[in-house]
Structure 1
Amino acid sequence: MGGEQLMSNPKLTSPTEVTRLLTKYDFKCKKRLGQNFLVDQNTLQIIINSLKLNKEDCILEIGTGIGTLTSALSPLVKQVISVEKDKKLAPLLKENLSSSNNIEIIFEDIINFNLINFFEQKRKKGGKIEKIVGNLPYYISISLIRQILELSQYLKLAVFLIQKEVGERLMAQAGNKNYGILSLVAQYYSRP
């Protein structure tokens, strides 16, 4: 599936259509939440390809946003569970994602979301989520990535769109000015 073209809702990658939707629902991006919605088709394709998807995958998405990535993932996998902090996006998401029956949106702040309990409950019910994806706001990316790296016993793959500065910290080697606890944890638990 890695090389397949997206079957997502094309209107969600059109800046004009996204502006229309945000206006229709009187939604204003909140700077304090770091809201930047993914609308670039090429970036979306790179994320999808990086996930190495198959039809049996259950994916955990962090930050549903307007549903661009969610709607692109839905036809390619068994289930998408997406955690979104901003409940004001609910009506917009209902419009954009209502045609998909394999999407579950959880309106909760991922920072307060008990990921270990979530993965354990999924396993007890016979399901498992081994891939996680998201377009992470800067203000939570470092603490969230550190938390997710420590869940390596549950996850096979994590794909995140992050700011350059966070990526540099993740990839830094000992002796580099960006090297720190995030670099150390990333190298211990993963192959960044």
Structure 2
Amino acid sequence: MDQQAALLGPADVRRLAGELGIRPTKKLGQNFVHDPNTVRRIVAAAGLGAEDVVLEVGPGLGSLTLGLLPAVRAVTAVEIDPVLAERLPRTVGEQAPALADRLRVLRADALKVRADDFAEPPTALVANLPYNVAVPVVLHLLAELPELRRGLVMVQSEVADRMAADPGSRVYGVPSVKAAWFADVRRAGPVPRSVFWPVPNVDSGLVSFERVEPPSPIPREEVFRVVDAAFAQRRKTLRAALSGWAGSAPRAEELLRAAGVDPAARGEQLRIGDFVRIVEATRI
């Protein structure tokens, strides 16, 4: 698309924050991107099309929003902070007046939004996610918005590792398995601390995902209960870890063997399909 937006630089971000009396808070995980090149990199890496409807969570002062608007048909920005939510349309009107009609602002908690909150179903998620809620936000949105086909999110580097980890990895766990139910998740590169204001005390990384078909018609809640139990005490064998869920250790072993899973294995060795087979064994 030929329209362009004037992106925010460091001086713009500080000016806007000062105007609004904003002091970024750790509680909301606020670290504002002030580097236009990083914004361009994120938009390019997201692989967006002209007809995409992008969901942006936590737009903050609008740095990424301004980069997204020229590339897509519409952006719905979900912002929990009322001051930021009110200012964002004006910022877009000032920096990219020709694109202002592509923006919708939804003042809401991203962990509580529902599909019917959106005038148009989002097709892609692109966001600089607050570190403390990144995983639950992504899982909630994938569960709630079936037309959300892909995304690119910026998260704490350790969170990125966990979301994209493979079985057997030291950081493979509940986020890795649950994300795999919905999507193919991959690391998409590091993000330097210097592009944020204030500078965070942790490294950041990009995570991309492409939605896949669910591995089973079994309700995911049933499978996720097994996942949670398997990782509740990581050092336990699955026979022991699933004893509460199955009713007893012998019953857990019986189900595991029926699913073709070694009862002496541990949760971090299993893929999402293995957990599905364990639940399917209860129905035989």
TM-score > 0.5 by shorter chain = yes
Matched, 1:111 2:111: yes
Partner deviation per Cα, 1:141-164 (whole Å, 9 max, x = no partner): 011122234357322111101110
Distance 2:52 2:180 in 1: 26
Matched, 1:131 2:130: no
Partner residue in 1 for 2:18: 23
Matched, 1:82 2:77: yes
Distance 2:170 2:144 in 1: 27
CA contact (8 A) 2:77 2:106 kept: yes
Aligned residues: 180
AA aligned to 1:9 is A
Tell me the SS of whatever aligns to 1:32.
coil
Deviating more after overlay: 60-69 vs 87-96: 87-96
Displacement of 1:91 in angstroms is 4.8
Partner residue in 1 for 2:64: 69
Partner deviation per Cα, 1:90-136 (whole Å, 9 max, x = no partner): 4532431122111011111111222x3346xx4xxxx4321111100
Partner residue in 1 for 2:6: 9
Identity among equivalent positions (%) equals 31
AA aligned to 1:31 is K
CA contact (8 A) 1:9 1:68 kept: no
Displacement of 1:19 in angstroms is 0.9
CA contact (8 A) 1:131 1:155 kept: yes
AA aligned to 1:58 is V
- Cα distance change of structure 1 residues 28 and 173 upon mapping to structure 2, 3 Å threshold: same
Partner residue in 2 for 1:171: 164
Distance 1:161 1:130 in 2: 18
- Cα distance change of structure 1 residues 90 and 190 upon mapping to structure 2, 3 Å threshold: closer
Tell me the SS of whatever aligns to 1:21.
helix
Displacement of 1:182 in angstroms is 0.8
Q: Of 158, 161, 182, which residue of structure 2 is paired with 1:189?
A: 182
TM-score computed with the length of structure 1 as normaliser:
0.83
Matched, 1:59 2:58: no
Q: Structure 1: where are the runs of 5+ without partners? A: none
Distance 1:144 1:91 in 2: 22
Displacement of 1:66 in angstroms is 0.5
Distance 1:180 1:156 in 2: 23
Displacement of 1:187 in angstroms is 2.3
Q: Structure 2: where are the runs of 5+ without partners? A: 186-284
Partner residue in 2 for 1:150: 143
CA contact (8 A) 1:64 1:84 kept: yes
TM-score computed with the length of structure 2 as normaliser:
0.58
